[in-house]
Amino acid sequence: MSASSNGTTAPAEPTTTTRTLLAVDGLVVGYAGAPVLDGLTIEVAAGDVVALLGANGAGKTTLLRAVSGLVPLRGGRVVLDAEDLTGLAVEDRARRGLAQVPEGRSVVAELTVEENLQLGALWRIPGRRARRAAVDELYDELEPLARRRQAYGHQLSGGERQMLALARALVSRPRVLLLDEPSLGLAPRVVAQLLGTLREAARRTGLTVLLAEQNVTSALSIADRGIVLGLGEVVADAPAAQLAADPALRHAYLGF
Ligand SMILES: Nc1ncnc2c1ncn2[C@@H]1O[C@H](COP(=O)(O)OP(=O)(O)OP(=O)(O)O)[C@@H](O)[C@H]1O
């Protein structure tokens, strides 16, 4: 969604609704050997839900981990709201509002839903009462979790666990949520509920989301924009509705 021209020769000013919140600029990341991401540049507007797509091994997880600081950069920058985060540790990036939900529904199996959420709130929300309020507010939004608040992590279904992993990230009210393959192994109905909850949370709070997904149709159904990675580069970047609806784009970049 680009700013419209005003009909004069002056360049159009970006509108506040498309303010860039998160940017990666010339990112070079790899493990051993050739880089997985090689000069990758992406900008994510505040409040946008962006689906990060691409074949297995395209580098989606690597990009999320580079943004959150879990893998070191060989080159480039990660910028949040005009602040360069590149030299900062994972915890310092989290304090500035980046939250990552890694693949695999990581929750503490020996703790209850309630305790998991309190733990999520602990280090970003000072004060017991404020944490209590944050968790209660979340229960209002995530009704299925509220009903299971005394259940232990190991007693939850796959969908409930993924919902809890999402909730644990949301309770600290991040500015940017980095979400890796939340649909993995879940039934279509559960995926729809989970992503619907995510979309609703983003709409209500202005949360910005970078959602890595293999489940292209589901991801595009709730995203504003789709970015397709291939061989460490952006091969397509378009409004989600356009990516979903255009058979030529789908066939060329998404394989269906
Ligand atoms: N810890 C690691 N050590 C070495 N190579 C890795 C490591 N993690 C990922 N890779 C390699 O980096 C490349 C990109 O992997 P990445 O997990 O980022 O892709 P992806 O797009 O998330 O894939 P998927 O959809 O399968 O999760 C792959 O070739 C992978 O084998």
For residue 218, the model assigns a pLDDT of: 92
The answer, yes or no, to whether any atom of ligand 1 lies below 6 A from the CB of 31, is yes
The answer, yes or no, to whether any atom of ligand 1 lies below 6 A from the CB of 64, is no
Which is the closest atom of ligand 1 to the Cα of 62? 18
Distances 182 to 38, 82, 109, 235, 236 between C-alpha atoms, Å: 26, 29, 18, 23, 22
Q: How far is the CA of 200 from the centre of ligand 1 (A)?
A: 30
DSSP conformation class of 3: P
- pTM for the full predicted model: 0.88
In 85-138, which ranges are E strands?
A: 98-101
Superfamily for 20-97+174-189+206-256?
P-loop containing nucleotide triphosphate hydrolases (3.40.50.300)
The pLDDT of residue 11 is above 70: no
Q: Which amino acid is at 188?
A: P
Q: Which helix (H) or strand (E) holds 225?
A: strand 225-230
The pLDDT of residue 105 is above 80: no
Interface confidence: ipTM more than 0.90: yes
Pocket test for ligand 1, best of 28, 29, 31 (most atoms within 8 A of CB): 31
Q: How far is the CA of 128 from the centre of ligand 1 (A)?
A: 39
More confident residue, 4 or 31: 31
Q: How far is the CA of 203 from the centre of ligand 1 (A)?
A: 31
For the chain, which residues make up each domain, given as ranges? 20-97+174-189+206-256, 106-173
- Phi/psi of residue 179, each to 5°? -120, 125
Question: Which of 155, 162, 169 is closest to 196 using CA atoms?
Answer: 162
The pLDDT of residue 6 is above 50: no
- Largest separation between any pair of C-alpha atoms in the chain: 63
Cα 209 to Cα 142: distance, rounded to the nearest angstrom: 18
The pLDDT of residue 77 is above 70: yes
- Atom 7 in ligand 1: which residue has the minimum CA distance? 31
Mean of all residue pLDDT scores within the chain: 88
For residue 17, the model assigns a pLDDT of: 57
**Per-residue pLDDT tens over the stretch 27-49:** 999 998 889 999 999 999 999 99
One DSSP character per residue, 136-173 reads: HHHHHH-HHHHTTTTSBGGGS-HHHHHHHHHHHHHTT-
Which is the closest atom of ligand 1 to the Cα of 54? 21
Token pair recorded at residue 31: 């493990």
- Atom 3 in ligand 1: which residue has the minimum CA distance? 31
The pLDDT of residue 190 is above 70: yes
